[in-house]
Amino acid sequence: MDLDSDEENVVEEDFYAFLNVPKEASKEEINNAYRRLSRMYHPDKHVDPALKEKAEIMFNKTKRAYEVLSDPHRRAIYDSLGTKGLETEGWEIVQRTKTPAEIRAEYEQLAEERAERKKKQATNPSGNITIAINATDLFNPYDDVYYDDEFEDDIISSIPNIEVSSMQFSQSVDFPLTQKDTCTLSGQLQTQNGTGAGGINLSWRHIFSHKSWAEVEMCAGSGPGISFKGFRTLSKRFFWNGGTILQFTPEGIRPGVMSTLAMQIDKYSVGYLSYQGGIRQIFSTQVIRETEEISGSYDCLGCNNLVQFNASKHSIV
């Protein structure tokens, strides 16, 4: 492991040179240097705001150097690894009697553990499980059936019939390649009333800038397919996203296209103009308005001449 590249953002400081003491300085020499410099750089000794600000910076550096060199454990870490070792989490559980070689080995172990945690955070694994249970017989039993006193109800038949009607499982994992390129592997599996289906998807997204990205995705399951998607911020109020999909079936290639143009109408309202082409073509417009108290949407589907308006009022408790 390259220890120098692991802490690129940590600025290396020479605390001994700052306090003007040798590396073999005793605790008394460090204390004397700290008292001398703290009196010199104390902010209260300056009236001018600019000089006071500079003095405060130097005073904090003096305090930082003293806190490290006056602590034998932190001083041993600093002597072996520099300031990058002080920034590593986990030293509080390390024994204070370790030699410099043992401290360096401990640092490598802590750095590997931290890199592993960062790797898990970068992959961003996520999963979802949804199970639908039909418990109608539990809450609505057939209690209107009358039994003759000569016959006793069967114990087994009296137990409510509870069944799992459907299940859905999904899982996805990200694989960052660079700061602008990410691969995502996802899969899903669902079953309902004894019929199951599933699929697996592999996508690659490239971020061109904070205004645009493009993505290509390959899928397999009910049939292989490939799709291309994109996003672009057109202006301060307009943005666009869309794409095309090619699905390969025994009957041939089934193409599809989707496109959405959105506009920020005002602070609370966004309008969408969408088109979906393929076997079924849909042209729709939608306006969504949401405030702290009321949210609503106006939908218009061009293919069916359907107009729909939804609204709801938020209740504040």
Q: Given this model, what pLDDT does residue 244 score? A: 94
Domain 124-264 has CATH 2.40.160: yes
Q: Given this model, what pLDDT does residue 2 score? A: 41
Q: Given this model, what pLDDT does residue 9 score? A: 47
Tens of pLDDT, residue by residue over 174-213, are 888 888 999 999 999 998 877 888 899 999 999 999 899 9
Q: Given this model, what pLDDT does residue 315 score? A: 47
- Which of 96-110, 123-137, 263-277, 287-301 holds the top average pLDDT? 263-277
Other CB atoms within 10 Å distance of the CB of residue 225: 20
Tens of pLDDT, residue by residue over 44-68, are 887 788 888 888 999 999 998 998 8
Residues 6+ apart with CB under 8 A from 164: 131, 132, 133, 134
Contact between 244 and 264 (Cβ < 8 Å): no
Distance CA 13, CA 19 (A): 11
Residues 6+ apart with CB under 8 A from 317: none
Domains in the chain: boundaries: 3-121, 124-264
- Closest listed residue to residue 3, CA positions, set 111, 131, 121, 98: 111
CATH topology assigned to domain 3-121: Helix Hairpins (1.10.287)
Q: How far apart are the first and last CA of the chain?
A: 55
What does pTM read for this prediction? Answer: 0.51
